[in-house]
């Protein structure tokens, strides 16, 4: 249906707007906000049958060309136009393009949507996911001409995957904050919980970023994974390959020592880290969550008995999510409360301590070798920096000596000036082959140590060693309010090892976050505390 030219009246003023019946009412409300300055949570648009709601259907309302709508609500500060017009990459020159690509862009907060923005930005630390989304097209759309795709999208079996793909494309192309209206609408349709209104009735309620993470990853399970010729992996979907671990749980009872252990397996998208009064480090919180005591019916004793539950991972994914369990239900106040205890988390995580004995035995040789390789790479990096400084110093010294007195080959004290030669000598001693040569040798050595079953498992970690690449934090003292912020390692976005700092995504405010300040996110107060952490398996 073609867009309609309509009018709105607010506080005695009349505005001309365009209403597109093919878009949700939230899009029209946003246009009204841009004209009147009335925030969405205070806006009421009078239509046939009452007030326009976010889930209203334009077909039932029946808007007409030239129709006038009454808008009720106190206007806030009108939205300010950008200081400079928004430019797309194809319109930029080389200098502007370099500046624009140096810093990613954020997402506009549409009213308590920080939980969604932080989750979307944290998932950007998985470049393989963006590639999989770009290549993903729902199978039923492949058989229709492009002109029919618009009407068929309402029957899209995975609208979240398509909408997230489009949102990431917009974030890549834009140089200013992106408004995630289309994705937010699809998300609320798929997960009605995220469309709940606040208790006061003004605007939408705050939601949980960890729940958003879980809902998104579960609804992306249909996205195809990587297919490698010659492999016969049973995992064909991206989430199963790169983000899913396998947890093996063993139950034994000290009250029934002759009873056979009960063993079960489950696929998990995250590992819990319990936060109790004795937990100071992430590793101990994870161990506490994996080792628990439960009471259940014993088939041999015919009564309830105490069981020791021991869980370990028999498969480590390339991307391992850790959930810091900071919110718990308090029976005394009948309410969810936040645990603000400080819990330190590592930038590098050795996950072999939480694996089964069988998996640890397979991964230990390559893990040990990978640690040795990391040390060798650090040493080479230091040598290259030292050599670079020495050569620069040598060139500067030689130039100064030559310009002061080309004929004088001796120092004032009578000694020969040998600085240039000695530095060059040191350079010769420290000279290295190109880094690519060492990497090829190291990769060959590491690949020879990988167990064949792990090598054939697409998307599985091959080392058991991880680097931290993204954090979702919660700021505030209450569980049902506060603010979510995402922190993403810059190297995860750029692919450059030398990018050691992080990027802070506070909705549409994006800034550089020094790596030295990561320790300030371990909690202990009302400021930002790590809630969801994403680790990436170290590459070969």
Q: What gap in Å lies between CA 530 and CA 522, rounded to an integer? A: 6
Helix (H, G, I), strand (E, B) or coil at 337: strand
> At CB < 8 A and 24+ separation, what contacts does 278-285 make?
279/341, 279/343, 280/342, 280/343, 280/344, 281/343, 281/344, 281/345, 282/322, 282/324, 282/343, 282/344, 282/345, 282/346, 282/349, 282/533, 283/346, 283/353, 285/324, 285/325, 285/343
Residue 387 main-chain phi, psi, to 5 deg: -65, -40
Angle, to 10 degrees, between the axis of helix 209-219 and the axis of helix 181-190? 80
Say which of 323, 427, 474, 483 is annotated catalytic. 483
Rounded-to-5 percentages of helix, strand, coil across the chain: 40, 25, 35
Distances (CA, A) of 292 to 109, 307, 341: 40, 9, 21
Cα angle value 310/314/318 (rounded, 5°)? 125
Q: Is 114 designated active site?
A: yes
Say which of 7, 10, 114, 474 is annotated catalytic. 114
Q: What gap in Å lies between CA 387 and CA 392, rounded to an integer? A: 9
List, in sequence order, every beta strand (DSSP E) within 331-449.
Answer: 335-338, 348-350
Annotated active-site positions, please? 114, 483
């Amino acid at each position: 249906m073609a867009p309609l030219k309509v009018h709105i009246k607010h506080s005695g003023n009349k505005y001309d707007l365009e209403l597109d019946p093919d878009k949700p009412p939230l899009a029209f409300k946003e246009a009204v906000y841009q004209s009147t300055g009335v925030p969405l949570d205070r806006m009421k648009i009078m239509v046939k049958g009452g007030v326009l709601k976010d889930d209203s259907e334009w077909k039932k309302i029946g808007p007409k060309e030239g129709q006038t709508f009454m808008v009720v609500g106190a206007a806030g500060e009108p939205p300010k136009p950008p200081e400079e017009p928004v430019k797309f990459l194809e319109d930029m020159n080389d200098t502007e393009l370099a500046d624009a690509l140096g810093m990613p862009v954020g997402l506009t907060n549409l009213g308590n949507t920080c939980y969604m923005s932080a989750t979307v930005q944290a998932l950007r630390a998985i470049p393989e996911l963006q590639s999989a989304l770009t290549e993903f097209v729902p199978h039923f759309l492949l058989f229709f001409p492009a002109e029919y795709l618009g009407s068929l999208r309402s029957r899209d079996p995975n609208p979240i995957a398509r909408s997230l793909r489009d949102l990431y494309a917009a974030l890549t192309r834009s140089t200013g904050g992106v408004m995630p209206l289309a994705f937010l609408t699809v998300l609320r349709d798929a997960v009605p919980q995220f469309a709940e209104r606040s208790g006061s009735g003004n605007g939408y309620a705050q939601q949980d970023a960890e729940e958003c993470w879980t809902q998104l990853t579960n609804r992306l399970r249909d996205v195809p994974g990587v297919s490698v010729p010659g492999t016969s992996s049973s995992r064909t979907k991206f989430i199963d390959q790169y983000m899913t671990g396998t947890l093996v749980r063993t139950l034994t009872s000290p009250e029934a020592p002759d009873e056979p252990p009960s063993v079960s397996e489950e696929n998990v998208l995250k590992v819990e880290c319990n936060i109790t009064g004795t937990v100071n480090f992430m590793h101990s919180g994870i161990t506490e969550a994996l080792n628990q005591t439960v009471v259940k019916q014993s088939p041999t004793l015919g009564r309830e008995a105490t069981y020791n539950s021991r869980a370990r991972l028999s498969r480590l994914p390339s991307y391992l999510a850790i959930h810091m369990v900071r919110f718990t239900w308090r029976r005394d106040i009948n309410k969810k409360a936040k645990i603000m205890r400080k819990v330190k988390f590592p930038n590098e995580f050795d996950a072999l301590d939480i694996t089964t004995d069988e998996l640890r035995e397979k991964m230990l040789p390559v893990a040990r070798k990978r640690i040795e390789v990391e040390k060798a790479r650090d040493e080479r990096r230091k040598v290259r920096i030292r050599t670079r400084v020495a050569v620069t110093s040598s060139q500067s010294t030689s130039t100064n000596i030559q310009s002061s007195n080309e004929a004088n080959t001796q120092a004032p004290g009578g000694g020969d000036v040998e600085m240039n030669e000695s530095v060059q000598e040191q350079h010769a001693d420290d000279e290295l082959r190109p880094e690519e040569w060492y990497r090829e040798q190291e990769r060959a050595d590491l690949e020879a140590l990988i167990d064949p079953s792990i090598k054939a498992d697409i998307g599985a970690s091959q080392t058991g060693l991880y680097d931290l690449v993204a954090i979702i934090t919660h700021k505030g003292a209450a569980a049902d309010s506060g603010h979510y912020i995402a922190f993403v390692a810059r190297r995860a976005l750029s692919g450059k090892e030398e990018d050691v700092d992080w990027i802070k995504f506070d909705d549409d405010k994006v800034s550089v976050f020094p790596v030295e300040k990561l320790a300030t996110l371990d909690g202990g107060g009302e400021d930002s505390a790590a809630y969801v952490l994403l680790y990436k398996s170290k590459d070969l």
